[in-house]
A and B are shown apart, each in its own frame.
Chain A
Amino acid sequence: MTIFGSDLFRMIVGLIGVIALVSVNALFLIWMERKVAAHMQLRPGPMEVGWHGSIQTVADALKLLGKELITPAEVDRPVYLLAPIVIFLPVLVSFLVIPFAPNLIIRDMNVGVLLILAFAALTVLAILMAGWASNNKYSAFGAIRSVAQNVAYEIPLLITVMSVILMVGSFRLTDIVAAQERYWFILIQPLAFILYITCATAETNRAPFDLPEAESELVAGFHTEYSGMRFALFFLAEYTNMFIVSALATIFFLGGWRGPFLPGWAWFFIKVYAMIFLIMWFRWTFPRVRFDQLITFAWKILIPLAFANLLLTAFLMKIF
Chain B
Amino acid sequence: MIKIGLLEEALNLARANSLWPMTFGLACCAIEMMAAGAARFDLDRFGAGVFRPSPRQCDLMIVAGTISKKMAPAVVRLWEQMPAPKWVIAMGNCAISGGPFYYPTQYAIVPGADLIIPVDVYVPGCPPRPEGLIEGILMLEEKITKRGRLRKFRDVK
A: residues with CB less than 8 A from B are 34, 38, 41-49, 53, 56, 58-63, 65-70, 215, 219-220, 223-228, 231
Q: Are B44 and A219 in contact (CB under 8 A)?
A: no
Binary interface encoding of chain B residues 33-70 relative to chain A, with 1 for a CB under 8 A from any of its CBs, else 0:
00000111010111101101110110100000000000
Which B residues touch A219, using CB under 8 A? Answer: 53-54
Which B residues touch A58, using CB under 8 A? Answer: 14
Q: Are B54 and A56 in contact (CB under 8 A)?
A: no
Partner of A45 from the list B44, B52, B59 (CB cut-off 8 Å) is B44
CA distance A67 to B10 in the complex (A): 14
| Besides the known contacts A48-B45, A67-B85, A224-B56, 7 further A-B residue pairs in the complex with CB atoms under 8 A apart | A53-B45, A63-B17, A67-B59, A68-B84, A220-B53, A223-B54, A225-B56
- Taking the closest CB of chain A, its distance from the CB of B138, in whole angstroms, is 10
- Taking the closest CB of chain B, its distance from the CB of A152, in whole angstroms, is 26
Q: Are B14 and A226 in contact (CB under 8 A)?
A: no
Which A residues touch B83, using CB under 8 A? Answer: 67-70, 227-228
CA distance A69 to B83 in the complex (A): 7
CA distance A46 to B38 in the complex (A): 13
Which A residues touch B39, using CB under 8 A? Answer: 41-43
* B129 lies within 8 A of chain A by Cβ: no
Which A residues touch B38, using CB under 8 A? Answer: 43
* B108 lies within 8 A of chain A by Cβ: no
Number of inter-chain CB pairs below 8 Å: 97
B side interface size, CB within 8 A:
28
CA distance A240 to B29 in the complex (A): 38
Interface set, chain B 85-141, CB cutoff 8 A to A: 85
Given A45-B44, A53-B47, A56-B18, decide whether A62 and B53 contact each other with a Cβ distance below 8 A. Answer: no
CA distance A60 to B15 in the complex (A): 7
Q: Are B47 and A48 in contact (CB under 8 A)?
A: yes
Which B residues touch A228, using CB under 8 A? Answer: 83
Which B residues touch A59, using CB under 8 A? Answer: 13-14, 17-18, 47
- Taking the closest CB of chain B, its distance from the CB of A110, in whole angstroms, is 42
- Taking the closest CB of chain A, its distance from the CB of B109, in whole angstroms, is 26
With both beta carbons as reference points, the residue of chain B lying nearest to A67 in the complex is identified as B83
With both beta carbons as reference points, the residue of chain B lying nearest to A62 in the complex is identified as B14
- Taking the closest CB of chain B, its distance from the CB of A156, in whole angstroms, is 31
Partner of A60 from the list B47, B53, B56, B81 (CB cut-off 8 Å) is B47
* B150 lies within 8 A of chain A by Cβ: no
* B27 lies within 8 A of chain A by Cβ: no
Which B residues touch A44, using CB under 8 A? Answer: 42, 44-45
User: Can you identify 7 A-B contacts, CB atoms within 8 angstroms?
Assistant: A43-B39, A43-B42, A49-B47, A63-B59, A68-B85, A219-B54, A225-B54
With both beta carbons as reference points, the residue of chain A lying nearest to B53 in the complex is identified as A219
Interface of chain B: mostly helix, strand, loop or mixed: loop
Which B residues touch A70, using CB under 8 A? Answer: 56, 81, 83
Closest CB pairs A-B (n = 7): A62-B14, A68-B83, A220-B54, A227-B56, A227-B83, A59-B14, A47-B45
Given A60-B18, A66-B15, A67-B83, decide whether A46 and B47 contact each other with a Cβ distance below 8 A. Answer: yes
Which A residues touch B13, using CB under 8 A? Answer: 59
Which A residues touch B81, using CB under 8 A? Answer: 70
CA distance A70 to B52 in the complex (A): 16
Q: Are A63 and B18 in contact (CB under 8 A)?
A: yes
Which B residues touch A46, using CB under 8 A? Answer: 44-45, 47, 49
CA distance A65 to B15 in the complex (A): 10
* B11 lies within 8 A of chain A by Cβ: yes
Which A residues touch B18, using CB under 8 A? Answer: 49, 56, 59-60, 62-63
- Taking the closest CB of chain A, its distance from the CB of B88, in whole angstroms, is 16
CA distance A61 to B18 in the complex (A): 9
Which B residues touch A226, using CB under 8 A? Answer: 56-57
Q: Are B14 and A38 in contact (CB under 8 A)?
A: no
Which B residues touch A34, using CB under 8 A? Answer: 44, 49
Q: Are B15 and A220 in contact (CB under 8 A)?
A: no
Given A53-B47, A63-B59, A70-B83, decide whether A45 and B53 contact each other with a Cβ distance below 8 A. Answer: no
Q: Are B52 and A38 in contact (CB under 8 A)?
A: no
Which B residues touch A61, using CB under 8 A? Answer: 14
CA distance A46 to B18 in the complex (A): 10
Which B residues touch A45, using CB under 8 A? Answer: 42, 44-45, 49
Q: Are A66 and B14 in contact (CB under 8 A)?
A: yes
